């Protein structure tokens, strides 16, 4: 999802937005009983030794400036990988696997780096064009990565801002924020328009900030909460309001849809970014996870 609205400093925080949207929602509700049941179930099965972020084959193995640049670049264009037909997916062969979804992007970025292309450098992608990016993110199937034009626009936008204001390095943004996740969140959505994941709902501006919060969490995880990723208020970051987690929460009965909404979904209705139902699904998801804490 890419929204590029004028920055509104009065926008509610994602947590407050989730609560407000849930209180006003017409088509999405939360079952507190199901929340409790799912929370208990997760406690039984979640491995207390959570896998380290960097142990994934495609993620950076160190927590230096290059790793921060890699994370930033990938999260700038971390959107829209889904396919209506599961047999017609963009994919990239790299390392020990064939990757789809978000991981196909990571694989393509690593492939480009291995080929000597500085794809994660803001100075490089500030001027990258569609033909070049299409080649760098080329598919190993017959189905290409969608929305190349929008990805180029995002990369050009953030790259130019980093070069002009932050000496071509996102790490300098982090250093300005006094180890505060919330300060970094506000800097990201203020300075980089493509991260402004907000909507108008019941005459209020609500903020969901999916990719901006993923960016902060990825840096924190990569650095294991130390060094560049030390944020004293990391617990203020909410879950990331996407379209996958709602499916799981509905499956477990945590979220429930109205008959009208279920009918639209079964009919394959495509909601636009900012549609009331889309905002309700994402906002209530945030609050459902908060209730489960």
The residues annotated with a catalytic role in the active site are 242
Query: Measured between alpha carbons, how far is 120 from 142 in angstroms, rounded to an integer?
Result: 25
Longest dimension (CA), the chain: 53
Q: Quick one: 186 exposed, middle or buried, by C-beta within 10 A (0-12, 13-18, 19+)?
A: middle
Expressed in angstroms, the distance from the first to the final Cα of the chain is 26
Q: How many separate helices (H) and strands (E) can be counted in the chain?
A: 13, 8
The rounded distance, in Å, linking the Cα atoms of 74 and 50 is 23
Q: Residue 37: what are its φ and ψ, rounded to 5°? A: -65, -45
What residues are paired with 198 via a beta bridge? 207
CA–CA distance, 164 with 24 (Å, rounded to integer): 42
> Coil, helix or strand for 166?
coil
């Amino acid at each position: 999802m890419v929204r590029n609205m004028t920055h509104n400093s009065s926008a509610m925080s994602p947590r407050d937005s989730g609560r407000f949207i849930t209180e006003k929602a017409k088509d999405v509700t939360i079952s507190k009983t199901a929340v409790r049941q799912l929370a208990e179930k997760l406690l039984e099965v979640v491995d207390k030794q959570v896998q380290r972020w960097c142990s994934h084959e495609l993620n950076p193995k160190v927590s230096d400036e290059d790793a921060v640049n890699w994370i930033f670049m990938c999260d700038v264009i971390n959107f829209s990988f889904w396919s209506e037909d599961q047999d017609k997916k963009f994919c990239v062969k790299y390392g020990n696997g064939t990757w789809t979804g978000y991981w196909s992007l990571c694989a393509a970025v690593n492939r480009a780096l291995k080929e000597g292309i500085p794809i994660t450098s803001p100075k490089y992608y500030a001027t990258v064009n569609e033909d070049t990016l299409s080649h760098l993110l080329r598919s190993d199937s017959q189905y290409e990565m969608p929305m190349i034009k929008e990805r180029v626009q995002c990369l050009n936008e953030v790259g130019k801002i980093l070069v002009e204001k932050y000496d071509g390095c996102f790490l300098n943004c982090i250093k300005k924020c006094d180890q505060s996740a919330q300060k970094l969140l506000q800097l990201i959505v203020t300075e980089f328009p493509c991260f402004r994941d907000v909507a108008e709902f019941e005459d209020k501006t609500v903020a969901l900030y999916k990719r901006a919060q993923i960016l902060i969490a990825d840096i924190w995880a990569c650095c294991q909460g130390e060094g560049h990723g030390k944020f004293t208020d990391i617990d203020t970051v909410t879950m990331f309001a996407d379209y996958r987690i709602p499916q799981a929460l509905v499956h477990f009965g945590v979220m429930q849809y109205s008959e009208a909404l279920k009918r639209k979904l079964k009919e394959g209705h495509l909601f636009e970014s900012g549609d009331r139902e889309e905002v309700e699904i994402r906002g209530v998801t945030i609050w459902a996870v908060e209730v489960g804490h």
